[in-house]
């Protein structure tokens, strides 16, 4: 079961603290596309609040998501399995080098996503609650937010953080984006 789970997330069947560090992720190059936002119910009602900046930000984040998200999360989870195989001992094998490489990739991703996530419009409803008028805008924003916490946890050598709340929340929002087909 362990090997099947590891293979499903993109790791090797044998977790090893002696694996070499992951390579840097390739830079995301935004290209023109015919992608358009979706406005399912009830987002058809908030369409008037969606700006061109929202649309451009989500278009670019979708290009990142479809090209890089799975690989990045595979790296995070692969590191987690390797750390587990090392009994959470950061001094065994290549664990620290693996952690450093994953942190660089997560931080680069967070830096790339930041201006796009922050460009998304947040509006208040009649009760003063904040919402994102763009379909799955909140999912991208929350994914960016929790992903930024992932690197903090790894850098702090917080072994519980590898499978802790931020990784799980990042996976939750990534799954929500994937299941919505917003990037298709």
- Other C-beta atoms closer than 10 Å to the C-beta of 1 total 5
CA-based nearest residue to 101, from 138, 154, 43, 34: 154
pLDDT tens digits for range 104-138: 999 999 999 999 999 999 998 889 899 999 999 99
**Strand 130-131 relative to strand 123-124: parallel, antiparallel, unpaired?**
antiparallel
Decide if pLDDT at 165 tops 60: yes
137 within 8 A of 121, measured Cβ to Cβ = yes
Whether the link from the prior residue into 45 is cis, omega within 30° of 0, is no
What is the value of pTM for the model shown? 0.89
pLDDT confidence of residue 3? 43
Task: Indicate if the alpha-carbon torsion angle 89, 21, 112, 179 is positive or negative.
Answer: negative
Average pLDDT over residues 58-84: 96
pLDDT tens digits for range 92-108: 999 999 999 999 999 99
Residues 6+ positions from 50 with CB-CB distance below 8 Å: 37, 121, 133, 134
pLDDT confidence of residue 173? 98
């Amino acid at each position: 079961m362990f090997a099947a789970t590891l293979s499903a997330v993109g790791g090797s069947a044998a977790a090893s603290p002696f694996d070499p560090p992951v390579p840097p992720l390739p830079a995301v190059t935004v290209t023109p596309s015919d992608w358009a936002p979706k406005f399912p119910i009830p987002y058809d009602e908030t369409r008037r609040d969606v700006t061109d900046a929202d649309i451009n930000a989500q278009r670019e984040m979708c290009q990142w998501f479809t090209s890089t998200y799975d690989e990045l999360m595979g790296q995070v989870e692969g590191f987690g399995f390797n750390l587990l195989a090392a009994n959470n001992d950061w001094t065994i094998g290549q664990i620290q080098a693996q952690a450093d490489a994953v942190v660089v990739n997560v931080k680069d991703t967070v830096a790339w996503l930041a201006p796009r996530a922050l460009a998304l419009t947040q509006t208040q409803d009649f009760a003063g609650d904040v919402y994102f008028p763009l379909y799955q805008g909140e999912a991208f924003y929350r994914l960016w937010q929790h992903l930024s916490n992932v690197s903090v946890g790894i850098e702090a050598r917080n072994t519980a953080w590898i499978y802790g709340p931020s990784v799980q929340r990042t996976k939750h929002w990534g799954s929500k984006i994937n299941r919505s087909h917003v990037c298709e």
